[in-house]
Structure 1
């Protein structure tokens, strides 16, 4: 029998394992269960693909998105692995052929959606087949507190009941300690070996800017930092997705919308285009992206505040899966906080759900308002600790901390006086107008220009006051009355500030922070190539594009950019030299070796 390392080198074309890959593989080969937390792009799939090739039978992979199965299977077939999928997109003849292959032991890996797996027909098929292992991908979907909860995942505990001797591996890129415990409990993996890799994605530059004409900000970010590159833009609502896609397209950035309200065939077509075309931007709700294996997504942007740090990490992790520099950019404003608070209060969940959602939002606000390293705070949420990263906005342009106690007292006093003296509550804009002494028609009509707090904050700009208010909301010193159309009110914690019992240090942005030109751009993906190598690289990319079109698969299924870049740099002249390039396995060497050498020699 081949060894795991032989399979890694011969089939996948990689010289050595990374991190705990080998230990995970050996755990499964020994017949034991494993629970694996590994960041996106960390090589999770190898942890079950290699054992499936080495153990007798077929490895069954439970994957939540049927739209991605075809690309995963296509990539494996390019490597010479006998892979197939079963899902609702297939015609019955095609599904029957896959079932026949499964029964005859002709498959190394079978991908199945959880809904399909739990049907009587599929369970009977599996009972009549020899199973090498079960891999449960995106395992956080089993957590009812998670951001991608899928009720179908709850039924996967039955796998252990029916096949107690078949090893199982549950994998996810995102889980706190509490979520990890819930995954183990719900899937019956209490005895599983746990493998927790670092959550750090050092190639991603994290940046959060104050929202101010967000469309213009997003367009500037894409044009200045990622022109012509693939990216994902996340929006909170379906209408915003459509609007943002139209705006980008009208301004020369090719973009497509994606959300659950679209026709399923249109949605699938848009996803297929995104996976296969270069330089396309997908604007989407969080319905898009789980399990996306496109390696060259160069940026992920959020134009609305995510609901939780877990969701934010999962979504930003879809950038830079190839390890090349990428960006995670977010525009965040006061209205985001008000909107999220309202959504929690108006949700149909019970009080426990609302408290949990409130804590998740508080953690997200803390990440937005921190004066410390973003990456430090992000990883601390998952229980990991690092030194300041040097690759986020707060490290590159540190914000100032300032004593905002007096400013906070002025703002809290304005809210208090309106309520005590007039029995009235107002939103942020009106409160700030009063503080700045702006005699608007509404201020005069309400007689608020006679209040003692009128004009006491004229020394600060509207933007500055919005920053103060945002931070007070984040710290729980101001609350949003969702029944009063987003009006502001005090909390129990406000009293200590008003009495001067605490000193309140607030964040002030560095001058010019958030401008694309002021923050270090990620190094270009082709950095380090001389002129001749760059010419070879472009020729190889053109060759790859033609082959991908011929095969009907995304370009990265043929070869990743990193592999082509190494070929361009090393300029191999023989198949032996080419065989040592990262990502060139035996099957791909046989299929494409001569063509690659011809392409290089012709430049």
Structure 2
């Protein structure tokens, strides 16, 4: 491990291993198979990159996305590691050149798409060279129940069959107990050691607000807490992505779109703009994001409800990879609950798949409606327990919701559904409950039902919250015809009979949490330090443009913060800064010292 630590310091520029990194690296270097569950930003890549440098031969990394491979290879080449990609983005001549250099032993690491790896040509090719290890990144893609399923991943057990003496390391940031079991079974890792790090990302603040006007709420959130920051906004549909992008751009924000309906060239250009430029907001469907390792994403926002906690965790985990403060913000309403339930019910998937999807959605709804710490609820879902009672960095902890006994009001709502024939959605039912004599109420003679006007003491907003929460609780379901009409469930009957009490969250005016945020590093800088910070950022942007790589490949923001804080004046002092290894010291040391000595 002294050799591993030396590589960590001299090549990657980090002073010490974190968490279980050292144990994983020792296990793989000694030839062991393993499954590694580590949160986004937890340093998974080092767990296979360092063993690949320590063992004889080339490390073969199976990765699902072209963008991920290219960015990781660019970062490795920047620090002097011989790495390359082999995927569909290369021309036949470029691919042939990579293969020739591979046969000549010219690479430490080769990133390959699963489709390419599984071809007979490639498998025969690597039988002719020493292979240090196989790393299967984003291993949750093997799960047929998961949000990122890739059919090719289920065939990767061939690696163990063809190369039984080559260690394999499967890595993911997102896997509940069921998914872990599936990864082990499908990849033939029954004898592998399992390393599970904490799923907690303490630098991310989780906030879920009641959806009123989601675009305006999003705009207010960005203006208040993230002006000029890079962020990701997730929407469920392509149409909503395009509309939101246009709207944000119209408000003066730098926003670009990404969804599967765009041409590959459009997606590539927008992704490169997001990765290489600062302060760009990516508005996207879930087609975007896996493997995006941009470290300075300061917020991830959801305008629609994710299908599962795994999806939510994976998507929000793209914020704050550098360890600095970041936000996970979501606007959530009744329509989201109805839409997601309907999508499951109308799916042509097998009944077992629908059951799994329903269970995952219910867990997601429970997270949205929880009256206790959101972080602890999410960690519990992944099987992680903790001694603390509250995280202190989610909206529930910072602004605890009030709970009220809503049993009578819920009975009124359920009775109204029944009295109106179980044929109407929330809007009409609220009109009946509040005694609003609309044309539709008169047309259906619902001013004559016993529930007309019995809920006039509550506002429309409160009633919408009641319906949202009782749908989330499974006391109501929607029709299959797509009209949004509510139907009673078996669970609702015990409430109507008075055999079960119902306690709900009390709707209060959303409070901004910005004033409760911890002061970040940038806010604490004085005018001289801020000037140095801007000089370093300008220099970094220029170098990145010259090299054709994103700015963070040169140095992360965390490294620039440390340069400002320590203001090193010599090469020896620069060596002590996290993120500056031997190669970067040789390439950029003189430039940095010149800038720093001016301060």
- TM-score interval, smaller chain: over 0.9
1:118: which partner in 2?
Answer: 118
Q: Distance in 2 between matches of 1:520 and 1:313?
A: 23
Aligned to 1:17: 17
Give the CA deviation at 1:569: 1.1
Match of 1:149 in 2: 149
- Between stretches 192-201 and 534-543, larger displacement belongs to 534-543
In the TM superposition, residue 383 of structure 1 has moved relative to its aligned partner by 0.8
Match of 2:481 in 1: 483
The match for 1:260 is 260
Matches of 1:31 and 1:119, distance apart in 2: 25
Secondary structure at 2:217 match in 1: helix
Query: Which residue does 2:544 correspond to in 1?
Result: 548
Partners of 2:286 and 2:586 in 1: how far apart?
40
Deviations 1:55-96 (A, max 9, x none): 000001011101221111110011100000001111122111
Q: Is the 8 A contact 1:325 1:525 kept in 2?
A: no
What are the superposed Cα offsets for residues 549-576 of structure 1, whole Å, 9 maximum, x if unpaired?
A: 0000000000001111111111111101
The residue number in structure 1 matching 2:231 is 231
Give the secondary-structure state (helix, strand or coil) at the position aligned to 1:398: coil
What do residues 17-69 of structure 1 show as CA deviations (whole Å, max 9, x unaligned)? 00000000000011010100000000000000000000000001011101221
CA offset digits 1:190-241 (Å, max 9, x no partner):
1111000000000000000000111100111111110000000000000101
Task: Say if 2:224 and 2:514, in contact at 8 Å, map to a contact too.
Answer: no
Residue in 2 that maps onto 1:416: 418
Aligned pairs for 1:333-482 (under 5 A) are: 333-386=333-386, 387=388, 388-419=390-421, 425-482=423-480
SS in 1 for 2:461: helix
Is residue 309–residue 363 contact of structure 1 (8 Å, CA) maintained in 2? yes
Give, in whole Å, the separation in 2 of the partners of 1:516 and 1:263.
39
**Residues 67 and 292 of structure 2 are in contact (CA less than 8 Å); yes or no, is this contact kept in structure 1?**
no
TM normalised by structure 2 equals 0.98
Q: Number of residues paired by the alignment?
A: 597
What is aligned with 1:539? 535
Q: Aligned partners of 1:484 and 1:174: how far apart in 2?
A: 32
TM-score under structure 1 normalisation? 0.97
Deviations 1:329-382 (A, max 9, x none): 000010111111110011110111111111111111100001101101111110
Is contact 2:225-2:514 (8 Å) kept?
A: no
Question: Is the contact made by 1:396 and 1:519 (CA closer than 8 Å) also made in structure 2?
Answer: no
Q: CA deviation at 1:450?
A: 1.1
Q: Which residue of 2 aligns with 1:163?
A: 163
Displacement after TM superposition at 1:522 (Å) = 5.5
Shift of 1:482: 2.2
SS of equivalent residue, structure 1 residue 16: coil
- Cα distance in 1 for residues equivalent to 2:531 and 2:482: 62
Residue in 2 that maps onto 1:512: 509
Is residue 106 of structure 1 aligned with residue 106 of structure 2?
yes
What's 2:560 paired with?
564
Question: Matched residue of 1:595: which SS?
Answer: helix
Structure 2 Cα separation of the partners of residues 521 and 244 of structure 1? 27
**Secondary structure of 1:450's partner?**
coil
Partner of 2:207: helix, strand, or coil?
strand
Aligned-partner SS, 2:327 = strand
RMSD: 1.2
Counterpart CA distance in 2 for 1:525 and 1:102 is 44
After superposition, give the CA deviation of every residue in 1:376-399 in whole Å (9 maximum; x if it has no partner): 111111011232100000000000
Q: Distance in 1 between matches of 2:290 and 2:384?
A: 23
Residue aligned with 2:478, SS? strand
Residue 143 and residue 194 in structure 1: after superposition, are their counterparts in 2 closer, same or farther (change >3 A)?
A: same
**2:5 aligned partner:** 5
- Contact kept, 8 Å, 1:397 with 1:519, in 2: the verdict is no
State the 1:324 CA deviation.
0.2
Residue 595 in structure 1 maps to residue 591 in structure 2: yes
- 1:586 aligns with 582
Q: Equivalents in 2 of 1:99, 1:536: separation in Å?
A: 45
Unaligned runs of 5+ in 2: none
- Secondary structure in structure 2 of the residue aligned to 1:390: coil
Q: CA deviation at 1:262?
A: 0.5
1:494 aligned to 2:492? yes
Give the distance between the partners of 1:14 and 1:267, measured in 2 at CA.
Answer: 34
Q: CA deviation at 1:178?
A: 1.2
Aligned counterparts of 1:327 and 1:357: Cα–Cα separation in 2: 27
Mapped partners of 1:598, 1:24: distance in 2: 39
Q: Which residue of 2 aligns with 1:174?
A: 174
- SS of 2:455's equivalent in the other structure is coil
- Deviation track 1:500-554 (CA, whole Å, cap 9, x = no partner) reads 1111111113x332x4367634534414433322221111111111000000000
SS of corresponding position for 2:490: coil
Contact 1:32/1:167 (8 A) holds in 2: yes
Distance 1:519 1:316, change over 3 A: farther
**Corresponding residue for residue 325 of structure 2:** 325
Taking the aligned partners of 2:352 and 2:338, their CA distance within structure 1 comes to 20
Q: Which is further off, 102-111 or 520-529?
A: 520-529
Alignment of 1:260-299 (within 5 A): 260-299=260-299
* Structure 1: distance between partners of 2:523 and 2:23: 34
Contact 1:205 1:522 in 2 (8 A): no
